[in-house]
């Protein structure tokens, strides 16, 4: 079998993406275009996301890994210590109560904005805030009293939640947000949380790899 040629495509102003199966091994397959709502929605429909250091690139870099890291809501792992913490009633959760607070904390907590390779720029914040106002992107907030102490945000397409970023101001509050989301999705017969990239944090909570073809079948389930 001939080895597949791999390359990165330069996008133009037209609304399109090339076949991401021809991208590089790390999932990078396109550069350029814009962060318009229509392009980001098209990206969600194909498992594509922008991911780039805003200080090092003037154009968006587009990724679509062929091995996808996901959590199935019914399979989320809740440790004994997490159950104990959640049962104390210290924290409560909400949907879409403070999207701006969530996305800005995701960009700046623990010095993220100043860090090398930082990707959550003001352009990204504006782009996903527009999508939030259009109903495509949602946030989960974790509160201690009236103080926002953790959360996550991401896109929704059919029965999939596409996670973008999460943060904690108190230990384990991003995990609480993810568990809250997974339980809501399981109750409402939703299919999959797309974590995009593997991390030890998400793996410990039940994340698994699936191939892109299976991912697309699940993404397009009605």
136-161 pLDDT, tens digit per residue, is 999 999 999 999 999 999 999 999 99
Largest distance between two CA atoms of the chain: 60
pLDDT of residue 197: 86
- Tell me the pTM: 0.95
CA distance 215 to 196: 11
Sorting pLDDT into bands at 50, 70 and 90, what band is 4? confident
Strands 160-168 and 67-71: unpaired
Instruction: Show the DSSP H helices in the chain as ranges.
Output: 37-44, 80-87, 99-108, 122-134, 173-187, 200-203, 212-219
User: What number of CA atoms fall less than 13 Å from residue 150's CA on the CB side?
Assistant: 20
- The strand pairing partners of 202, in sequence order, are none
pLDDT, residue 77, reads 97
Per-residue pLDDT tens digits for 82-139: 999 999 999 999 999 999 999 999 999 999 999 999 999 999 999 999 999 999 999 9
């Amino acid at each position: 079998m001939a080895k597949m040629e791999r390359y990165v495509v330069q996008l133009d102003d037209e609304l399109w993406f090339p076949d991401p199966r021809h991208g590089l091994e790390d999932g990078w397959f396109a550069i350029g275009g814009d962060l318009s709502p229509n392009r980001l929605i098209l990206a969600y429909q194909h498992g594509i996301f922008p991911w780039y250091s805003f200080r090092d690139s003037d154009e968006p870099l587009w990724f679509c890994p062929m091995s996808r890291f996901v959590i199935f809501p019914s399979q989320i792992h809740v440790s004994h210590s997490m159950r104990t913490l959640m049962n104390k009633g210290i924290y409560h959760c909400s949907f879409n109560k403070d999207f701006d607070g969530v996305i800005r904390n995701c960009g700046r907590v623990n010095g993220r904005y100043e860090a090398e390779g930082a990707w959550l720029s003001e352009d990204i914040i504006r782009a996903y805030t527009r999508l939030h106002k259009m109903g495509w992107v949602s946030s989960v907030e974790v509160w201690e009293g009236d103080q926002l102490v953790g959360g996550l945000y991401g896109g929704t397409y059919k029965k999939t939640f596409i996670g973008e970023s999460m943060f904690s101001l108190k230990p384990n509050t991003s995990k609480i947000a993810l568990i809250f989301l997974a339980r809501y999705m399981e109750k409402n017969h939703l299919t999959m949380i797309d974590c995009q990239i593997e991390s030890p944090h998400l793996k410990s909570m039940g994340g698994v790899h699936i191939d892109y073809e299976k991912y697309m079948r699940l993404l397009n389930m009605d």
